[in-house]
Amino acid sequence: MYTSRISGCGHFLPDNIVTNNDLIELMETSDAWIQERTGINERRWIDPASGETTSTMGAKAARNAIKSAGLRVDDIDFIIFATLSPDMYFPGGGVRIQDILGMTTIGALDVRNQCSGFVYALSVADQFIKTGMYKNILVIGSENHSGGLEKTTRGRGVSVIFGDGAGAVVLSRSEVEGCGLLSTHLHSEGAHAEQLSLAGPSTGRWVDQIIRENDPNDTSYYPYMNGQFVFKHAVVRFSEVINEALDANGLSSADIDMLIPHQANLRIAQFIQKKFGLEDHQVFNNIMRYGNTTAASIPIALSEAVEQGLIKPGDVVVMAAFGSGFTWASALFRW
């Protein structure tokens, strides 16, 4: 059986920087209020005049990843695209990537697992490669949150957190034992689905009903998050799924060279860092600059860490995510 390795990484972020002070113009908030709760200083939001979309950002990140891998577009056998914010309700973003990059008629699969979507997508790609079906798979996480946020005082609990961006990797076949992607671990708990969700428009609450009711107090078409409830579950599940990955590979927290957590909240990452006894150089965080980019957060962080030379051959790299669903997941690599 083959193994999988990340042969290339890439990311893309919109030019438009939105600081905490910029948000004061839109809602009742402050830089101190946002930083205390989230650790975020600024985020990137697409400029509507730029024409950027979830798919165009994903394609730019993908090009960078393919170049980093030393491959050509035609070397890619399959696409897995993770997002909660596709350009259209359907079709999915994967086929848009295939078209934008001018690829042959390779398959494209969308993963809708929100914050843990990229790790889920890695796991799916890994199975295709292990069985020999594909050799090079493009795995992308991309999000356009700013287009669907309620940028008012009422919506500030969510809108101050999220940013736009895209990250991608090329997962490639390897025959080197003991290296590459060693294991992935996937979980869900649908009992808490409504605690972090977007209820409509959906087939259960479609556009015609929203228009007909014309209710100014209707928030069903904006994201909802029970912040404290999510935080309490996240710190537990993050710990569990990281330990699961370590145990599965006969490792301990002392063996971790780099932890790349989903950039949900700096306070969560700091809690996990302290619990596992990790130093600052062993945890990569960029939420301060980009906010929570959901499915894009881990591949953006990974791409930056690799770009900065923070991950070396032989390093044990752990990725972990928790989010809507609830879903959570981890992946462990020996680089």
Would you state the pLDDT for residue 282? 97
CA separation for the pair 92, 108 (Å, rounded): 9
Would you state the pLDDT for residue 204? 78
Looking at 9, 115, 136, 286, which residue is catalytic? 115
Would you state the pLDDT for residue 214? 83
Per 3-state DSSP, the chain is made up of helix, strand and coil in percentages (nearest 5) of 40, 25, 35
Would you state the pLDDT for residue 275? 95
User: What is the 8-class DSSP label of residue 301?
Assistant: H
**What residue ranges define each of the domains in the chain, with the CATH number in brackets?**
3-174 (3.40.47.10), 180-334 (3.40.47.10)
Q: Is the peptide bond before 326 cis (omega within 30 degrees of 0)?
A: yes
11 annotated active-site = no
User: What is the 8-class DSSP label of residue 77?
Assistant: -
Would you state the pLDDT for residue 64? 98
115 annotated active-site = yes
Please report, rounded to a whole number, the percentage of residues in the chain having pLDDT higher than 70: 100
CA separation for the pair 89, 66 (Å, rounded): 27
Would you state the pLDDT for residue 193? 86
Looking at 64, 262, 265, 286, which residue is catalytic? 262
Q: pLDDT tens digits for 201-217?
A: 878 777 788 888 888 88
Whether residue 13 contacts residue 45, with contact meaning beta carbons closer than 8 Å, is answered with no
Q: In the predicted model, is pLDDT for residue 245 greater than 90?
A: yes
Three-state secondary-structure class, residue 208: helix
pLDDT band at 227, cuts 50/70/90?
confident
Total-model pTM: 0.94
Number of helices (H) and strands (E), helices first, in the chain?
Answer: 11, 13
User: What is the 8-class DSSP label of residue 24?
Assistant: T
21 annotated active-site = no
